[in-house]
Amino acid sequence: MLIRKLFKFENAHIVRNCTSDRCKRSIHGHSYKVELLLKASKLDHGQMVYDFGLLKGVIKEIFDSFDHAICFWQEDNPEYIQACKTFSARWVALPVSPSAEQFSRIFFFLAQQILKSTITQNGEGDVEVYSVIVHETDTGYAQSFQEDIENAQMGLLSLDKIIFSEQVKSEWSDPDMYEKLKQGILFQNPEVDLQVKI
C-alpha cells in the first residue's frame, strides 16, 4: 500500500550545463512541491501505513530547510559559491546540481535515511520510501525511485556531502538533528496508548 504526503517550499538555484540559457546563467527561483510516497506491506495499530502526523517531525524540518534558501552545486565556481554564502543566510550545498531530478533523489535519500534512523512504536511494518516526485513548475516534474538513489552515474549521495548553513540549522527544533542523523543516533516516535486492544 502507498501513502502520499505533499511538502512545499520556495528555493533559488542555477542549474549549470543545462540547455536553457536562462537556467544555466541566472539565479532563479521556483515554488516547489515535493510528493513523498511511502509504502508498506502491513498497517500499524491505527491501520495506517505511517501516521501523517509523524511526517511533521524530522522529515518536515529537513525538507523545510530548503525553503527560502539558495542551493548550489559544490563543484560550481568558487566565487559564486562564496557569493551565495555571503548574501544568503539560508543556503544548502549539494554534491550534485540542484535540478528537479537531483532534488527528487536528494529528498528520497534524506527521507530514507531518517526513516532508517527512526524507532517506531505503533506497530509500523516495513515502511520505506517508494518514490519522490518534485514539481519544479505546474507543467513539469521529476520522479525518483530506489534504483535512482543507488545509481552512481547520477552522482553519489551521502549525508556528509549535503551541507546546511548555520542559519538553517539554528531554526531546527534540535540544531544538532542532522549531526545525530549522520552519526546514526536514532530518532524515536512517540509512544502510543492503544484504546482498542488488537
Query: Cell numbers of 198, please?
Result: 488488537
The pLDDT of residue 47 = 96
Residue 83, helix vs strand vs coil:
helix
pTM attached to this predicted model: 0.96
Domain boundaries, the chain: 2-188
Q: Which residues are catalytic?
A: 23, 68, 136
Which residue type, as a one-letter code, is found at position 5? Answer: K
pLDDT in tens, 125-159: 999 999 999 999 999 999 999 999 999 999 999 99
How would residue 197 be classed by pLDDT, with cut points 50, 70 and 90?
confident
pLDDT in tens, 60-109: 999 999 999 999 999 999 999 999 999 999 999 999 999 999 999 999 99
State mean pLDDT over 2-24: 96
Place of cell 543556503: 91
Whole-number Å distance between alpha carbons of 169 and 152: 28
Task: Give me the chain's average pLDDT, please.
Answer: 97
Question: Residue 133 in contact with residue 143, Cβ under 8 Å?
Answer: yes
Q: How far is CA 123 from CA 59, 126, 145, 194, 195, in A?
A: 20, 10, 25, 11, 14
Q: Which CATH superfamily is domain 2-188 in?
A: 6-pyruvoyl tetrahydropterin synthase/QueD (3.30.479.10)
C-alpha cell at 196: 482498542
